[in-house]
Chains A and B, each alone.
Chain A
Amino acid sequence: MLNLDSGLSREATIINELGLHARSAAKIAKLAQPATGSVWIAKQDQKADASSIVDILTLACEKGTRITICVENKGDLQILEDITKLVESGFGE
């Protein structure tokens, strides 16, 4: 199971029509890549490496899916906020 330390994780809902597809996943990965530690996206009991588009895609998040975003290092908190904002804004689509 994931270590979802309350301070280091955020929940969000996928609101965009087409779900979490390649282009939106690419946006998440772009934000996650500079992180100093791991960044995860979790859907129920599955988790994916947020820095990998392919891995995010394998989660198959359609519109309405609740996801949890979490970071390992406290130093990556800003990244956590940015990704959450991105998801909540519907990836600016």
Chain B
Amino acid sequence: MEKDTQEIIIKGINASPGICIGKAYRVDREGVEVVEKYQIQTEDLPNEVKRFESAVKKSKDELLGILKKSPEELQHAHILETHLALLKDKMLYGRCIEIIKQENINAEWALKTVVSNLKDIFETMTDPYLRERSADVVQVADNIMRNLMGAEKVNIAAIKKRVILVAHDLTPAETSQINLERVKGFITDRGGKASHTGIIARSLEIPAVVGLKEATSTIRNDDLIIVDGNSGIVVLHPTEDTLVQYEERKINYEEYKAVITRESSAPAESIDGVRLSVMGNIELPEEVFALINYGGDGIGLYRTEFQYFNRNDFPGEDELFDKYKDVVEVMAPKPVTIRTLDINGDKAVNNGVLSEEANPALGLRAIRYCLKKPQVFMDQLRAILRAAAFGNVRILFPMISTYFELCEANRMLEKAAESLEKDGLSYKRDIQIGAMIEVPSAVIMADVLAEKVDFFSIGTNDLIQYSLAIDRGNEQVAHLFQPLDPAIIRMLKHVADVAREKDIKVFMCGEMAGTPHLIPLLLGLGMDELSMNPQTIPDIKRVIRALNVADTRSFIKEVLTQTTAKSAFELIKATYGSILSEQVYSE
């Protein structure tokens, strides 16, 4: 046992700041580690027994299948034959069924009980060889367990205690199922800073470390772990000393955060008197309150996808309207920028069972999907226009890659307004319309697109992904995802220049907008508004207050002469290091 409790430090990528200490909860699809206990009604007992029996049958068929394939390897075949006999052993098979019936308990729990009792008996044996023979019993039981649980996926929605989620990877659909009040932190094997898990964790203000590679193989359920989202470190089986040290760091960090938050409701005004709107990105309506607490000047990006996940049908217009109205009313008169559906709705609604696309990021999603499914789009557009009557709404079309798409989207919006007029419903047509600039073709066509919109909103995550051809969720190449790449800076400059020329506003709602050391650059480029995850608002406001906008304008000229991301970063550090060094949590 001793070797299991040695402190292990695992290094990953810091995806969301903060420190948490707690027990691990593995979310793995094999699910063997996660065994739940629940009561079975007496009338359902025959079904529960049947479920157990068919899991055993499945294990048996699997073994027979293997045996058929390997008749030559006698030694191996003997073991399998023993396992086959063990499957139906009364102390295992019979005992489980007895426990299910006697205790009105689910099959998984009965099996777990039987196996742990047997393990205890075997562990007391003195003969080392015989002691190890429990391995055979455990293997057989694991096999049954896998078949028992394989039938239904682990239900992360049902987590009952405050835990740290440990997963190979978390898909947006999975994260949307999680009862987030129960989660203290996330750690995943896959993913980079800008991965979905990171975004979710930051918006929920819980620490996350991603790209750990080994996390799920070394960490077991209920292991004590420390997640340090500031430096990207996970400590497994921490020693007393380590625990004390991290408790202290946790307190320091929380104090620092509290100070910053207190100042956050004041506007962000630079030394030379330029005021900048600092907005928040939200996904769930509940996040509005965090956003207000952090002093957000409005919602720069309201992601609307969540209502399409975890269901078998599309949300109707009224359902969408209710949610939008909630958010719009609470925020009024501050602006709420509602982004129309940014995914492939069919995939979300069918839990991804539709034919997989080889390159979903380049596939049917966002505005492309909406224009192909006018009814789905129309329901959302009508809901947005109706909600607009309750406050200050802007609409934002995602993933515009051609002028034609933008014209079509506008035409649909006009149609939505006409139909609402005809139906005699209250709505507001006179709202600001924006295009997301996140595809390189949209950057190049910005001057043309500008004719059709009131504002641009630059989505830096996708823009970087598409421009540099980097999958930000792939840890092999995640380090190449460089916001300071000269190509990206030049693109931003172009979009900002066009917006000024055409007299429309230019906003930024990607990760870059919430990154403190990039703020001098963004001010220099002339962004009118920055939108970020709510908890970074106070910090960004603090940086803006310490800057002189006139200086950043000349600074940007120097940045534009840089030829690598690294030299651009060094330049920022050399020029603004003193302001940025106050981020105590970055080391």
Contacts and interface: CB of A to CB of B under 8 A. Distances in A.
Interface of A: 18-23, 26, 29-30, 49, 51-55, 57-58, 60-62
B356 interface: no
A60 B125 contact: yes
A58 B89 contact: no
Given A22-B82, A58-B121, A62-B130, A52 B90 contact: yes
A22 B133 contact: yes
B86 A19 contact: no
User: Lowest 6 A-B CB distances belong to which pairs?
Assistant: A54-B91, A60-B125, A62-B127, A26-B85, A52-B91, A22-B136
Nearest to B90: A52
B331 interface: no
Nearest to A63: B127
A23 B136 CA distance: 10
B82 A57 contact: no
A72 B125 CA distance: 29
Nearest to B92: A54
Given A51-B90, A52-B91, A57-B137, A23 B130 contact: no
B231 to A, nearest CB: 48
A58 B127 CA distance: 12
B129 A30 contact: no
29 contacts: A19-B129, A19-B130, A22-B86, A22-B133, A22-B137, A23-B78, A23-B79, A23-B81, A23-B82, A26-B81, A26-B86, A49-B90, A49-B91, A51-B90, A52-B90, A53-B85, A53-B91, A54-B89, A54-B92, A54-B118, A55-B90, A55-B91, A57-B130, A57-B133, A57-B137, A58-B122, A60-B126, A62-B127, A62-B130
A72 B126 CA distance: 31
Contacts, number: 63
Interface string B137-170: 1000000000000000000000000000000000
Contact of A54 (B78, B86, B125): B86
A21 B89 contact: no
B15 to A, nearest CB: 46
Nearest to A30: B85
A58 B79 CA distance: 18
B126 A53 contact: no
Given A29-B85, A60-B130, 8 more contacts: A20-B130, A21-B129, A21-B130, A22-B86, A49-B91, A51-B90, A53-B82, A55-B89
Nearest to A49: B90
Contacts of B130: 19-21, 57, 60-62
